[in-house]
Structures are given as C-alpha cells and as structure tokens.
Chain A
Amino acid sequence: MSDNKTKELIEIREKLKIMLVENLSLEDINPDDIKTDEPLFGEGLGLDSLDAVEIVVMLQRNFGLEVKDMNKGKEIFYSIDTLADYVYENTKNKS
C-alpha cells in the first residue's frame, strides 16, 4: 500500500469516527476509543439498524456516496476500516 493511500485512509477513519460520535449522539464514547476493526453493529460498538440510516445519510452528505446494493452494505458497514475503504475507493474513482 502506498504511503499516500495509508495516510488518506487514516484521515478518513478519523473523520468517520468523529462523524459517528456526533451524528449518533454517542456521548459516552470518545472517537479515539473506537477500534477501527471492531464491528459497528451488534457486539462491538453496539449500533442498531436505525443508526445505519444515519450512516447511510452521513456517507451521502459528506462524501456524496450512495449505497444502493444491500449485499455490498453488509461488507461496507462492518467496521470503520471497511467503511473507510469504501469511502476511499469510491471518492478516488469520482475525482
């Protein structure tokens, strides 16, 4: 992986963590406490399906990305890492 890509992915992960805490009102959680490889839903961060709506909207508003495919959704929404990969790949393709 190139240094540039690594750097960009780190930035996206940080951005996503901050957005999650702000948009989902996770008052007791500090963005730095979120492990980037832990599952977002169920065990892990413990988000529910309604939180997923906020994440879908967050991706649209902040990155102009729309998740249409349910099957891909399962992979994309697994963790901060998978979300960041999706954002990186798709914003890179756009620009």
Chain B
Amino acid sequence: MSDEKLKATTKKRGNRLGLWFFKISLKLFGLAGAYGLLYFVCSYYLVFDRVTFSVCMAYINRRYPDHSFLRKIYYVYKLFINQGKNLIDRYYIISGQGEFEIEDECNERLNSLFNNPQKGCILLLTHVGNWQAIMPSFSKLIKKPVYLLMRPEDNAALKDMLDIDSEREGIKIISPAGYLGGVVELTHALGQGHIVSIMGDRTYGSDSVEAYFLGQKAHFPYAAFRIAAATGCPVVILFSARVSNKKYRVFYPSIIQPQYSGTQDKRKDIEGWIQEFAQNLEDYAAEYPFQWFVLEDIWAEERKQ
C-alpha cells in the first residue's frame, strides 16, 4: 500500500480546540446540537481532505457504480457525517452523559461459545457501524472480559477525548506494536477461554489475501483466521449498526470454524474463510451503505503479497 493510502487510516483528524467545540455543543444542546456542527466541519473535510475523500470514493464507486459523480460526492459527505456522529456517540457514552439502546442479537449458541471455559473465541470486528460504542455493553452481556488487539490511537486529542485504547471494566487491550504483534498474550488469552477481538478489514500495509467484494477483488487481513486455525477457536463475526438516533443493533452474521483441509495450500483455505467474511460484509454494505468507515482502498493493487 502506498504511504499516502496508509496515511488515510492513521491520519490525525481534529484538534483539541475543534473537539472542545463539540464537547461544549453536546453539553449545551445535546446530541442534536453536536451533530449539527458536523455539517460544517465535514464540508471542510470534503473539500480539503483529499486522501480520505479518495478512499471513501473507492467504496462509493463500487457500492453505487451507476450513480452520478455529484451524487457520489454527496454519499461521501454522508459517510463523513456518519463517522462524526459515531465519534460523538462514543464521547456521549464515555463521558456518562447518556446511553444508547443496544439491541444485541446474541443467541443461545453464541452464548455457549462465548462462555466456554475450555476454549476461547475470536470476535472478528470491522470498521463499520460503531463497534467501540457497543463493546462495553457486549462485555457486560457475556459477563467476561474482552481482549482487544488494537493499534494505539495516533491522535492524542481524540485519544484523550474518547478514552481510546485505554483499558476499562471488561475491556483489555493487547497491542500489536509489541514483540511478535502481541501473539503470545492473545494465544494465552484464547487458551484461558477468553474472547479476543481482532479487526478484519484494514490491512495497514501488511500481508493480505484477496476476496471478491462489491464485484471486484479486494484485500483483507487474515490474522484472525490463521490464529483461529492454529488454536482451534471459532471466529464469530460481529457487526454493529446505528439504526436510529438512540439505538444500535449488534448482530452476528456468521460463525466460522477454520480448519485446514490438508489437501490444498493453506492459503487457499484462508481465502475461502475470507470470502465468507467478505460476503457478510457485502450484505452489510447492502443494508447499511453509509456506515462504512474502513478508510482504506481495499481494492488498490499496490500492496504487499
């Protein structure tokens, strides 16, 4: 992946003064007031943040190939607005100003997987919906800690405001920046019957496998599936979606039990699992087209193989 494309996912957006305005608006005028500010701020980003515009357009071009260019620009603007709403919602929850209703579709089978003391489980998350907002509620629901494998937040202002990558009740962080990408800790956690959450979309320039997504071959990271195949743990795909101004939906479209066939190249097996995940993601994009915050051109050719 080019440095420019990588920057889109790690770029610092928002400074302390800008975030202060959002905090004050939220305090004085509630969620609607803070959301209102977004329409101005996102207009600025739409014009000047070319890198983010381009990676969002890569998605919109494939999701709405037949729409006019002007409509596509409007769709990118909608993505920017929705991402802003996500950040405000997270701050609203973390700062204790209120809560959202979380409709979690966890069922008996999932409950028994999550609470199996002998074997852990990998929760595959994606930058769609608002996984950060629903994670505290998920952890409470399953009554055990969730280990998150996640990169440290680069933007100090955002990190302070949203308490990103800080451990709190029920959430423990494993940093991939450590020796061997934190695999010793996460393998140990899985062995203890814990749940380890891994992101399944952004590759951050690392090795990836291809799968068809929105009509073309796209690149996905495959760490979750390799870890699952090695440890014998299932992969549960978790998606969240903002369904109204006060409600999030949490659902689990697939449970994949990765096991190498032994008859073919292991990479082929991995591609099969990734394709199943990509299909789930495509179904998600059909139902919630404007909750796509992957911020990476996953169809781009130039990347490590």
Point out the residue from A25, A49, A60, A66 that lies within 8 Å of B180, measured CB to CB. Answer: A49
Which of A8-16, A67-75, A84-92 binds B? A67-75
Contacts of A52 in B (CB 8 A): 180-181, 183-184
**Given the known A-B contacts A25-B266, A56-B183, A77-B180, are A50 and B227 also in contact in the complex, defined by CB atoms under 8 Å?**
yes
CB of A19 within 8 Å of the partner chain? no
User: Chain A's interface: helix, strand, loop or mixed, by majority?
Assistant: helix
- Pairwise interchain contact B179-A70, C-beta atoms closer than 8 A: yes
Contact flags B180-207 to A (C-beta < 8 A → 1, else 0)? 1111111110010000000000000001
User: 5 more A-B contacts (CB under 8 A) besides A52-B181, A70-B184?
Assistant: A49-B176, A49-B181, A50-B181, A50-B183, A73-B179
Which 8 residue pairs spanning A and B have beta carbons closest together? A49-B181, A73-B184, A52-B180, A56-B187, A49-B180, A52-B183, A53-B230, A50-B226
Contact flags B248-286 to A (C-beta < 8 A → 1, else 0)? 000000000000000001100000000000000000000
Nearest-neighbour CB distance to chain B for A66, whole angstroms, equals 7
Contacts of A37 in B (CB 8 A): none
Contacts of A67 in B (CB 8 A): 184, 188
A interface vs B, CB < 8 Å? 25, 41, 48-50, 52-54, 56-57, 60, 66-70, 73-74, 77
Complex Cα spacing A69 to B183, Å: 11
Contacts of B191 in A (CB 8 A): 60, 66
Contacts of B178 in A (CB 8 A): 70
Contacts of A60 in B (CB 8 A): 191
Nearest-neighbour CB distance to chain B for A7, whole angstroms, equals 30
Identify 30 residue pairs between A and B in the complex whose beta-carbon atoms are under 8 Å apart, listed by A's number.
A25-B265, A25-B266, A41-B180, A48-B207, A49-B176, A49-B181, A50-B181, A50-B183, A50-B223, A52-B181, A52-B183, A52-B184, A53-B183, A53-B226, A53-B227, A53-B230, A53-B231, A54-B230, A56-B187, A56-B188, A60-B191, A67-B188, A68-B188, A70-B178, A70-B179, A70-B185, A73-B179, A73-B180, A73-B184, A74-B179
Complex Cα spacing A77 to B227, Å: 17
B interface vs A, CB < 8 Å? 176, 178-188, 191, 207, 223, 226-227, 230-231, 265-266
- Pairwise interchain contact A66-B227, C-beta atoms closer than 8 A: no
Contacts of A77 in B (CB 8 A): 180
Contacts of B180 in A (CB 8 A): 41, 49, 52, 73, 77
- Pairwise interchain contact B226-A56, C-beta atoms closer than 8 A: no
Residue of B nearest to A71 (CB): B179
Complex Cα spacing A41 to B180, Å: 9
Contacts of A68 in B (CB 8 A): 184, 188
Contacts of A74 in B (CB 8 A): 179
Complex Cα spacing A60 to B231, Å: 10
Complex Cα spacing A41 to B185, Å: 17
Residue among B176, B179, B180, B188 facing the most chain A CB atoms (10 A cut-off): B180
